[in-house]
Amino acid sequence: MSVASKARTLTMAQAVAEGIGQEMERDSRVFAMGEDIGKYGGIFSATTGLLERFGPERIMDTPISETGFMGAALGAAAEGLRPISELMFVDFFGVCFDQIYNHLAKNTYMSGGNCRYPVVITSGIGGGYNDAAQHSQCLYSIFAHVPGLKVVVPSNAYDAKGLMIQAIRDDNPVVFLYHKGIMGLSWMSYFEGSTNEVPEESYTIPFGQAKVVREGRDVTIVTLSQMVHKSILAAEQLAAEGIEAEIVDLRTLVPLDKEAVLRSVAKTGRLLVADEDYLSYGLSGEIAAIVAEHLNHLRLKAPVRRLAVPDVPIPFSRPLEQFAIPQVDSIAQAVRQLMNLKLD
């Protein structure tokens, strides 16, 4: 942040909306569409105030038809516009996934690079507030698995604004996912660390650059989104016990900053991947595989440990949901166990 910057404290929802608004002012081709994004301002407040500024021709409330408005975004992008298409909950992607993974993700490749699809798909992810199995998933690994999609998952307001502006300016389809539990919503408890200083002016954060949000010497915790804040609180517990954890916030899954992960693991010799997505076939396995592929350059002191949601639907019951989703105490306990493990 430059000396001349004017920063205010914003919630992540406010930062996302500000980033979208500044890009709409800068580029008349940018518009947004989705369910309840107009007068209501989006169910997670990501478009609050934009209808009043830009009108219904650029902030478009849509029918409850994900396939329809995702297809409209695809067509608009093909004709030279730069749409932002909000999928209210990521869990709903199934009804429009053909538009995403068979068309948005592949048409640039299939056209030999002659067609571009600069669409930003925004969506709310994550649980922790008893919204049950169909409204509480993360699922970012599914999008990351599909070539042609960039995947962005910020953990705080500063990153969210810079990454949103970068996403809108990118000529490729970008899936921009924000965790409901860090948006700073008045009707929902959230981690205060996600609300931070954000410059008034426009700025970008390049994709594929992870951030070390806490330095440490004993163990690396690789994570993202709300789990960053849980990991920080866990690290504070561990520090009182003499264990210093380094926390790497990935910020984007595609592109993935493999070098940042490997640098940190080379430093600490231990790795815990803390993830709110499902355990099998996901982010935690990918990070573990990256480390395994570079074992000849690393001196691991213990086997890699993964902490994620077990392969069950997210429960509605609060005690069961809290048990299924990694929490501060479970992260701290996983690190303690990791410190006691040794490679044969």
Are 88 and 34 contacting, i.e. CB atoms less than 8 angstroms apart? yes
| Active-site residue, 294 included | no
Concatenated DSSP letters of 66-82 = HHHHHHHHHHHHHTT-E
Rounded distance, CA 169 to CA 207, Å? 12
Structure tokens at 85: 């298409």
Q: Judging by beta carbons within 10 Å of its beta carbon (0-12, 13-18, 19+), is residue 310 exposed, middle or buried?
A: exposed
Rounded distance, CA 266 to CA 229, Å? 23
Rounded distance, CA 262 to CA 264, Å? 5
> Catalytic one among 135, 145, 294, 297?
135
Rounded distance, CA 252 to CA 247, Å? 15
Rounded distance, CA 155 to CA 228, Å? 7
Are 265 and 240 contacting, i.e. CB atoms less than 8 angstroms apart? no
Helices (H) and strands (E) in the chain, counts: 12, 14
CA distance to 16, 29, 50, 124, 307, per residue, from 42 (Å): 11, 21, 10, 10, 32
SS3 214: strand
Structure tokens at 25: 């002012």
Rounded distance, CA 295 to CA 291, Å? 6
CB atoms within 10 A of CB 208: 16
Rounded distance, CA 331 to CA 67, Å? 38
Tell me which DSSP letter residue 314 carries.
P
Rounded distance, CA 95 to CA 67, Å? 6
Identity of residue 291: V
Active-site annotation, residues: 135
